[in-house]
Amino acid sequence: MGEQQEHAPEGHEHGYIGHKEDLLKRLRRAEGQVRGVHRMVEEDTYCIDILTQVSAATKALERVALSLLDDHLRHCVASAAEEGGEVAQEKLREATQAISRFVG
């Protein structure tokens, strides 16, 4: 896993706060799918069936990532763009790096 960084100023409300429960629900679902993959390997399940479950877990995490990215662009980046200057440039760099990690 990559290094975790905190870039939001203290007291800053994250863009996902309005649908945090939905994100947590999606993460619990992905977590259950990963546990299912583990169990399938332990039980010597057919490879294709395991791959199908891995694909489902991957898609679930991708949906979480896309939702967070959308929130970041709509909330943090838009807010920084209004402020302008170095703050805006930094938020755009962060978004570009996040997109690169996601698609790379």
51-66 pLDDT, tens per residue?
A: 999 999 999 999 999 9
What distance in Å separates the CA atoms of residue 64 and residue 28, rounded to the nearest whole number?
11
Q: Rounded to whole angstroms, what are the CA distances from 65 to 6, 21, 38, 98? A: 17, 15, 22, 9
Q: What percent of the chain has pLDDT over 90?
A: 48
Mean predicted confidence (pLDDT) in 6-16 = 58
Q: What percent of the chain has pLDDT over 70?
A: 85
What distance in Å separates the CA atoms of residue 63 and residue 57, rounded to the nearest whole number?
10
Residue 11: pLDDT band (50, 70, 90) is: low
> For position 12, what pLDDT does the model report?
55
